[in-house]
Each structure stands twice: as structure tokens, then as C-alpha cells.
Amino acid sequence: MISEDLIPVAFAFLRQITELRTHGGSYVIDAWAADPRHRDNQVHRHSSFEICYVTNGSGVYLDRDSSHPLKPGTLFCSRPYVWHRIHQGEELGLVWVSFRGDGRNSSEAHWKLIEKLRTTDRYLLPDAGQLPAVLTWHALLQQAASHTGLEEVVRPLAGAFLNSLVLAFVDAEPAGDHSPLVSTADHGRLLKQAHQFMTDNLSRPLQLQTVANYLHISQRHLSRLFHDYSKYTFVQQLTNIRLSKAAELLREGNSSLKEIAEVCGFGNIHYFTKVFTSTIGTSPGKYRESPFRIYEHFPSEEEGFTEFAKFAEYTEA
């Protein structure tokens, strides 16, 4: 976010905006607010949405019976009439916006997004610093701090910001626009980038959220891309890449099984041997000694994914 001394300046300017009309939607703004040292509060609820971003410090967010740690970069949504609380704060800095959807002036598609946000169980995003919504928030505060361009720049930017906030939690189609969030060409690009990131970071304990953060999309969005445009789930594809790299290192013959297990992210020889043998049909040691190996790679990486090469071992007559 912008420097702490400019935040009150920016929010003072933003408070002139109490209503927003966006592409297909309409909002009533109840509050633009910030608190560099947020005090603990009691369990409460309100009739509006309240979306907060943690700028510094730590704390705990209670949503009904579920507790979640708060740290810098956490984005969370308190939904209407849901009991919640922020407590155990340690130098906890927050910025937030409170708003209500205006159903009378919103399109049907946009109102469906608001209803999804109202009932979502995905109300806390722990590593949201690079999400479009948060980056737009940065830009909005920078512009508002200059106290210029209220109607020409700040209001349109605020509308885009609110739309991106909603999409961050519901991961749906933009209101009033029936095209996908990304084009068909982008599906392949995102999957190819995911493939390359996994390949470049095999030794790490990769999770779906880790790769999604790198691509600046939600975990659910990435999972759906694998489901809709790949023959494999995320876990299957990651295993395929690990096994392909392991097979390559085995063919080169310069690394021990322990080294290969670590480099390829299997963690230990036992797990590496178990996965390799169950998938390939032979142990890593026997594979390394096999005189003939045939690999068929399909489909192509241009389609956004690769299948682990099928293995067939031939013995000389």
C-alpha cells in the first residue's frame, strides 16, 4: 500500500464517493476506512459487506466458529449478517471498504455475483498481495492521495476496484459480460506458464495455491483450468513432471536415487520408488539398467500440459 502518512489523505478524498455505477452493477458505499493500529472488537455483524486488507501486524479473524490468522497480505470479507470478530491484534493495520449491492440498478448477472459473494465459503485469501483487486487498490489510493481527478480517474478506478474485489472471492464471469475471464488462447498460456513454473521449482513442496499465486489467479480458477482444458488434475500433472525429470536424471546416470528424489521433489527414496514403480511398472534402479526405453510424449506443451512418457521395456532375445 502507499505510505502510512498518505493513507488518511487518500481515504478522505475517497469518502466523497458514496455510490458507484460499474459495468452492469451498482453499489452503495457505507465506508472507506483505514486504521494503522486496529483495536480488538467484540463479536458482531452488520448489513453490509466489509472487505479488509491487512497492511501490517498480525491478529485473528473469527468467522462464526472458524478462526483464521491475519498477516500482511491477507484479504478477507465479512459478509452481511455473519457473526465475526477481529481480535488478538498486534500492531494490526487494516484498510477496508464497506458496501451494499444496489439490486434496483444492477443487471441480473451482476446481482448473481453479489449473491455468490454473500454465500461464499471462500471469504479469506491469505496471500493476496499480487491479486488484481489488491493491485487496483494500490493504484486507487495513489490516485486518491493526489486529490485530483475525482470524476475522471478516481471514480472509474473505484468501480473497477469493487468489481475486482467481488471477483477475487467468487471467481466468476464479469458482470454483464458473458465472455470468459480469459480467452481460449489464454487458457493454454496459463497452463503452459503453470507447467514451466512447476518444472522450474520441482524441489519445492508445490501446492495448487503456490502456482495460482504465481499466475495471479485464484486457486479455484487454476483448478478449473486443469479440469476443463487438460487431461490431468494439478496433482497428476505435477507428478508427471516430477517423474519425467526423474527419468531424465536416471538416463543420465550421474545422480544417486537420493539426489534424484530430492531434486524432483519426492522428499525421500521410499516415496520416490513407490510412485515411480507404480506408474512406470519398474523400479528406478531397474529402469536405469534397462537397455531399451521408448518414450511417447503427448499431447504437446503448446496445449498447456504434457503426459509423462509411457515406458516400455524390451529384453533382448
DSSP-based three-state secondary structure for 44: strand
- Contact 46/83 with Cβ under 8 angstroms? no
For residue range 168-226, list pLDDT tens digits in order. 998 643 333 333 444 455 677 888 889 999 999 999 889 999 898 888 788 888 888 88
CA distance readout (Å), 96 to 32, 33, 51, 55, 92:
6, 5, 5, 10, 13
Superfamily (CATH H level) for 7-170: Jelly Rolls (2.60.120.10)
- With 0.85 as the threshold, say if the pTM is over it: no
Phi-psi region of 128 (alpha: psi -120 to 50; beta: other; left: phi over 0): alpha
Question: Would you mind telling me the total number of residues written for the chain in this entry?
Answer: 317
For residue range 297-315, list pLDDT tens digits in order. 333 343 333 333 333 333 3
Q: Which CATH architecture has domain 182-317?
A: Orthogonal Bundle (1.10)
Dist CA 22 CA 157 (whole Å)? 10
CA dihedral 50, 56, 61, 67 (to 10 degrees): 140
Q: Where are the domains of the chain?
A: 7-170, 182-317
